[in-house]
């Protein structure tokens, strides 16, 4: 593992809990959206090794390299990747994946969300006992 990722465990200290207080939505803002996968790899690796029997779901418009995920140590058997053809559908898929309860975490890049959309994701996460990680490029 790269030393750049060595001291990130404190960021994820509460992720594995199944208790309702660990349900909700987190937004990560990155300099450019094409960097988001590389910046999220330590998180994806950690969450793919979660003891929860549900999926880590990634909703993406662009291809996610299975070889890259494997090289960084992801448990690919616990990752579900949903590809969408139209970026405008990312939000809808995020919301559905959160609410259906089949994922412990759902990651996606829906762009900048309105307050209403953020609230909808938080409600869906509560409904599905899941957590949402949304990524967007800084403006």
Per-domain boundaries in the chain: 22-137
pLDDT digits (tens, 9 = 90+) for 72-99: 999 999 999 999 988 889 999 999 999 9
Residues in the chain: 139
Q: What is the pLDDT of residue 59?
A: 95
Q: What is the pLDDT of residue 31?
A: 82
Q: Which two tokens stand for residue 13?
A: 């200290």
Q: Which two tokens stand for residue 83?
A: 């590809």
Distances (CA, A) of 97 to 23, 66, 101, 134, 135: 14, 20, 7, 13, 16
Whole-prediction pTM: 0.80
Residue 60 pairs in a beta bridge with 83
Domain 22-137 has CATH 3.50.50.60: no
Q: Which two tokens stand for residue 57?
A: 């779901």
pLDDT digits (tens, 9 = 90+) for 117-134: 999 999 999 999 999 999
How far the first Cα of the chain sits from its last, in Å, is 31
Model confidence at 19, in pLDDT bands (50, 70, 90)? very low
């Amino acid at each position: 593992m790269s030393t750049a990722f060595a001291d990130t465990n404190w960021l994820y200290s509460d992720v594995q809990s199944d208790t309702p207080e660990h349900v909700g939505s987190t937004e990560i803002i990155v300099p450019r959206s094409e960097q988001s996968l590389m910046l999220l790899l330590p998180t994806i690796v950690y969450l793919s090794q979660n003891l929860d029997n549900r999926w880590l779901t990634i909703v993406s418009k662009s291809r996610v390299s299975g070889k890259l995920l494997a090289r960084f140590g992801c448990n690919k058997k616990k990752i579900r990747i949903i590809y969408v053809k139209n970026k405008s559908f990312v939000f809808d898929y995020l919301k559905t994946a959160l609410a259906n309860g089949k994922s412990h975490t759902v990651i996606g890049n829906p762009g900048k969300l309105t307050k209403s959309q953020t609230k909808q994701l938080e409600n869906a996460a509560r409904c599905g006992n899941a957590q949402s990680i949304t990524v967007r490029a800084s403006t």
